[in-house]
């Protein structure tokens, strides 16, 4: 997680690609995508490469990034064709991207060594040789006074790492594989990273942690803007993790105006849907646990619930059946504004997958990340400092806004249960990061958490750490807490929209 929150050249290229695709969509005239051919030369100008060994390779990678940002499929290095090939197919507003969602641009991948124990230059060639003494396989010898590991004999047990007094022995791990809690990343025949799509739950942690920018998800920037430019009003449903994501120049009370500048009809905060989800999960918990289910798990993180269904099918019925905040907010907007379209704006890659499910397509039309929307602001040259303040997106409780941070969902549900059933005691356990979520469910399967409410968040830190976020995780968490405090109501039951819950579940 070392790289998260550090603005790098990888983020910079992503932002420029998103801005160019947004610009292309805002100016698009029926049937003409010839402009796509110029964009790689604008993003990577000149004849000398900045980041990689050749300017041609840099542009080739940018072309694939552009295609993914438009929802198109990746091409291999052997499939040479203009970048706009097949693009006409995908620019219709109703077009979903083709799976898979998370993709590795193979010729951008560094083919990093994975899980290799290696000796660094810090080796002092000491007299004691503790690394050699503790090695169970005799894999360590000394050449020219330095320790050397025979990789054919090494079993990666790590005893030499612990024994070295200089910290000179390291375990090299591929950053994408290390970040993947599903163990879904292996290698192809050239040693490049390869995603096992059967295991992948689209959390996007590999994408956020690859220092070569070789992993990218597909986007609907182009399609969303086409919908905005049509006659149909498009509403933005904005996730609670938004606090601070567009920089300190955009205040919460300016968000409505900012999104209207992009062409959205209006905004609603998904924290309102979070309140409705809280009430639903609280009722579920009291009704089901322990009479019908040993424990209940929260449902709002799609990567967590997908992981649970893939790895723990017998426990899948313990995941709350409550609709997620995103879906409830989409439904609410469509009830209030019949015939409109809804774009969910959030921190999350897995929400793109959730929204593409047949059962949810009618509630949510588009999913964009904060990072992608920042590209739209750039394309429209929106100057936040000139925006008028309106009322902040209002109506949600502090607890609803707290869904963005690990532990927030469980505490919202507990508060709601206490408000409805003051005598009911609720035990809670939460986990963040899929590795820890997996352990939590293993323990639950073994009966360790009977009677508990379990919260799982795929991203370490919660939604504020999602793959589409733009600021350091701790800064985001602090901004969410601040936003929670200024809410008029603190608990879900005080929501202005609570009476609409029955209507939305029909």
Backbone phi, psi, residue 452, to 5°:
-95, 160
Distance CA 432, CA 422 (A): 28
**104: closest CA among 8, 174, 15?**
174
CA 24 to chain centre: 25
Distance CA 185, CA 166 (A): 32
For the record, the structure tokens of 455 come out as 């919260």
How high is the mean pLDDT of the chain? 93
Distance CA 295, CA 278 (A): 16
pLDDT in tens, 176-221: 999 999 999 999 999 999 999 999 999 999 999 999 999 999 999 9
SS3 letters for 8-37?
Answer: CHHHHHHHHHHHHHHHHHHHCECCECHHHH
**194 in a structural domain:** yes
Task: Say which range, 333-342, 387-396, 469-478, has the weakest mean pLDDT.
Answer: 387-396
44 and 91 housed in the same domain? yes
103 and 123 housed in the same domain? no
Tally of domains in the chain: 2
**400: closest CA among 345, 336, 480?**
480
Q: For residue 278, give the 3-state DSSP assignment.
A: helix
The reported pLDDT for the residue numbered 392 is 63
74 and 17 housed in the same domain? yes
Cα Rg of the chain, angstroms: 24
Residue with the bigger pLDDT between 262 and 113: it is: 262
SS3 letters for 75-133?
Answer: CCCCCCCCCCCCHHHHCCCCCCCCCCCEEECHHHCCCCCCCEEEECCCCCCCCCCHHHH
**Cis peptide upstream of residue 100 (ω within 30 degrees of 0):** yes
Tell me the H-state helices in 293-340: 302-311, 325-336
**144 in a structural domain:** yes
For the record, the structure tokens of 473 come out as 């995780």
Return all residues near 232 (Cβ < 8 A) that are at least 6 apart.
Answer: 339, 340, 341
**366 in a structural domain:** no
- Residues 21, 27, 32, 36, Cα dihedral to 10°: -30
Looking at the chain, how many residues does it have?
A: 506
β-bridge partners, 29: 32
The reported pLDDT for the residue numbered 394 is 67
The reported pLDDT for the residue numbered 444 is 96
For the record, the structure tokens of 481 come out as 């807490």
Residue 8: pLDDT above 60?
yes
Return all residues near 142 (Cβ < 8 A) that are at least 6 apart.
Answer: 125, 129, 132, 148
- Domain, as residue range, for 146: 116-172
195 and 218 housed in the same domain? yes
166 and 131 housed in the same domain? yes
122 and 148 housed in the same domain? yes
Are the beta carbons of 208 and 349 closer than 8 angstroms? no
14 and 96 housed in the same domain? yes
For the record, the structure tokens of 403 come out as 């869904």
User: What is the arithmetic mean of pLDDT over 39-63?
Assistant: 92
102 and 213 housed in the same domain? yes
Residue 108: pLDDT above 70?
yes
39 and 168 housed in the same domain? no
62 and 166 housed in the same domain? no
400 pLDDT band, cuts 50/70/90, is very high
What's the longest Cα–Cα distance across the chain? 79
**371 in a structural domain:** no
Domain CATH number, residue 145: 3.30.70.20
Distance CA 200, CA 187 (A): 14
| pTM to 2 decimal places | 0.94
Residue 1: pLDDT above 60?
no
**Continuous segment of H or E residues that includes residue 431:** strand 427-432
**16 in a structural domain:** yes
| 3-state DSSP percent of the chain in helix, strand and coil, to 5 | 45, 15, 45
Task: Say which range, 27-31, 288-292, 303-307, has the weakest mean pLDDT.
Answer: 27-31
Classify residue 483 as left (phi > 0), alpha (psi -120 to 50) or beta. alpha
User: What is the arithmetic mean of pLDDT over 141-154?
Assistant: 95
For the record, the structure tokens of 386 come out as 């000139």
Q: What whole-number percentage of the chain has pLDDT above 90?
A: 80
194 and 73 housed in the same domain? yes
For the record, the structure tokens of 296 come out as 């209940």
Tell me the H-state helices in 204-244: 205-209, 221-229
**40 in a structural domain:** yes
The reported pLDDT for the residue numbered 5 is 76
Backbone phi, psi, residue 368, to 5°:
-125, 150
CA 448 to chain centre: 30
pLDDT in tens, 237-294: 999 999 999 998 998 889 999 999 999 999 999 999 999 999 999 999 999 999 999 9
**213 in a structural domain:** yes
Are the beta carbons of 366 and 118 closer than 8 angstroms? no
pLDDT in tens, 307-357: 999 999 999 899 999 999 999 999 999 999 999 999 999 999 999 999 988
Residue 101: pLDDT above 80?
yes
**Continuous segment of H or E residues that includes residue 476:** helix 473-485
Residue 88: pLDDT above 90?
no
192 and 104 housed in the same domain? yes
**458: closest CA among 135, 181, 248, 198?**
181
Q: What whole-number percentage of the chain has pLDDT above 70?
A: 98
**347 in a structural domain:** no
Distance CA 368, CA 380 (A): 16
**Continuous segment of H or E residues that includes residue 409:** helix 408-420
pLDDT in tens, 424-455: 999 999 999 999 999 999 999 999 999 999 99
């Amino acid at each position: 997680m070392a790289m998260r929150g550090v603005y790098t050249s990888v983020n910079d290229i992503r932002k420029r690609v998103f801005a160019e695709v947004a610009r292309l969509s805002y100016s698009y005239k029926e049937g003409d995508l010839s402009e796509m051919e110029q964009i790689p030369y604008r993003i990577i100008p000149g004849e000398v490469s900045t980041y990689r060994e050749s300017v041609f390779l840099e542009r080739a990678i940018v072309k694939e990034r552009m295609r993914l940002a438009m929802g198109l499929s990746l091409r291999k290095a052997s499939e040479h064709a203009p970048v706009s090939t097949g693009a006409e197919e995908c620019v219709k507003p109703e077009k979903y991207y083709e799976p898979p969602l998370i993709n590795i641009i193979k010729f951008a991948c560094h083919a990093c060594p994975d899980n290799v124990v290696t000796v660094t230059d810090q080796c002092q060639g000491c007299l004691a040789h503790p690394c050699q003494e503790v090695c169970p396989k005799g894999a360590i010898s000394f050449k020219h006074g330095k320790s050397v590991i025979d990789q054919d004999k090494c079993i990666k047990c790590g005893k030499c790492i612990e024994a070295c007094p200089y910290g000179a022995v390291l375990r090299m791990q591929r950053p994408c594989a290390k970040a993947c809690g599903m163990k879904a990343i292996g290698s192809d025949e050239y040693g490049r990273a390869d995603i096992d799509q059967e295991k992948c739950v689209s959390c996007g942690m590999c994408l956020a942690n690859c220092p070569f920018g070789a992993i990218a998800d597909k986007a609907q920037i182009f399609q969303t803007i086409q919908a905005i430019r049509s006659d149909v009003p498009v509403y933005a449903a904005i996730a609670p993790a938004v606090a601070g994501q567009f920089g300190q120049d955009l205040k919460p009370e300016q968000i409505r105006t900012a999104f209207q500048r992009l062409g959205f009809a209006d905004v609603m905060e998904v924290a309102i849907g979070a309140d409705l989800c809280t009430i639903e999960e609280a009722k579920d918990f009291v009704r089901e646990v322990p009479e019908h289910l040993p424990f209940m798990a929260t449902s709002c993180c799609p990567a967590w619930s997908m992981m649970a269904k893939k790895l723990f099918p017998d426990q899948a019925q313990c995941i709350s059946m409550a609709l997620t905040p995103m879906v409830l907010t989409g439904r609410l907007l469509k009830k209030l504004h019949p015939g409109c379209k809804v774009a969910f704006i959030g921190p999350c890659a897995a929400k793109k997958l959730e929204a593409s499910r047949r059962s949810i397509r009618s509630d949510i039309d588009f999913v964009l990340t904060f990072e992608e929307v920042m590209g739209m602001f750039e394309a429209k040259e929106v100057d936040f400092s000139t925006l008028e303040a309106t009322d902040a997106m209002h109506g949600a409780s502090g607890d609803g806004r707290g869904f963005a941070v690990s532990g927030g969902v469980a505490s919202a549900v507990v508060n709601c249960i206490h408000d409805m059933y003051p005598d009911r005691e609720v035990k809670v356990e939460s986990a963040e990061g899929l590795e820890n979520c997996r352990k939590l469910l293993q323990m639950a399967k073994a009966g360790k958490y009977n009677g508990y409410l379990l919260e799982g968040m795929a991203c370490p830190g919660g939604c504020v750490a999602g793959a589409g976020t733009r600021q350091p995780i701790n800064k985001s968490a602090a901004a969410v807490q601040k936003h929670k405090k200024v809410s008029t109501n603190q608990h879900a039951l005080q929501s202005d929209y609570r009476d609409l819950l029955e209507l939305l579940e029909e």
